[in-house]
Structure 1
């Protein structure tokens, strides 16, 4: 079981991910609606894993990934992207993202990604 921080600017997406994770036996310890919030909440909650949307207002997922990994080199972050964002996903992986999941979320794929790095 992993303690997870969910980061997505869409409340509906956060709710969907939370539902998948909780049903999969994980604990959602917090939610953030942009990358800036994710950086702050990571420091407060020290989750096992962060799910990080790539495209968000204010601070995007890649900037937040870089900032979290700079402060916490062992942070485990799974990027969430829409189809067609392969270049951004590759950028995220080069900056330390552990995996990525594609929207719309497939519960099995989400749980596989979380389970493989937890």
Structure 2
């Protein structure tokens, strides 16, 4: 059975890059959100196995969206991504429950590595 993935990024190019990276047989993209609020609403509706969430998003940033998702589902698998290399943001995201962090620009292998790691940790 395919693992359901939700992508939340306000930049269509990065959403497309993530989709392409996860176009392998074991993953199915179940939705794409452009704002943090959309990401939270879609997560609640679609209940994906994993969400890739950008930190810098309009209307609600990724940290606030992560907080809302973790309150709704404490076992949520969320990987954060951002073009900012701020250590504080990475630490904050991990403390709030993110499984990993991908720095933009990223490669397909960066995405796959983080996603596979998030699933492996749960299976151990």
TM-score range, shorter chain: over 0.9
Structure 2: runs of 5 or more not aligned: 120-124
In structure 1, what is the equivalent of residue 48 of structure 2? 47
Q: CA offset at residue 83 of structure 1?
A: 4.0
In structure 2, what is the equivalent of residue 22 of structure 1? 23
In structure 2, what is the equivalent of residue 32 of structure 1? 33
Question: Are 2:119 and 1:113 aligned?
Answer: no
Contact 1:7–1:31 under 8 Å retained in 2: yes
Structure 1: runs of 5 or more not aligned: none
Q: CA offset at residue 53 of structure 1?
A: 0.2
Q: What secondary structure does 2:81 align onto?
A: strand
In structure 2, what is the equivalent of residue 99 of structure 1? 100
Q: What secondary structure does 2:16 align onto?
A: helix
Contact 1:79–1:92 under 8 Å retained in 2: yes
Q: Distance in 2 between matches of 1:52 and 1:112?
A: 16
Moved over 6 A (4+): none
In structure 2, what is the equivalent of residue 8 of structure 1? 9
Contact 2:85–2:103 under 8 Å retained in 1: no
In structure 1, what is the equivalent of residue 60 of structure 2? 59
Q: CA offset at residue 15 of structure 1?
A: 0.8
Q: Distance in 2 between matches of 1:81 and 1:12?
A: 13
Question: Are 2:76 and 1:75 aligned?
Answer: yes
Q: Distance in 1 between matches of 2:106 and 2:26?
A: 17
Contact 1:8–1:14 under 8 Å retained in 2: yes
Contact 2:20–2:108 under 8 Å retained in 1: no
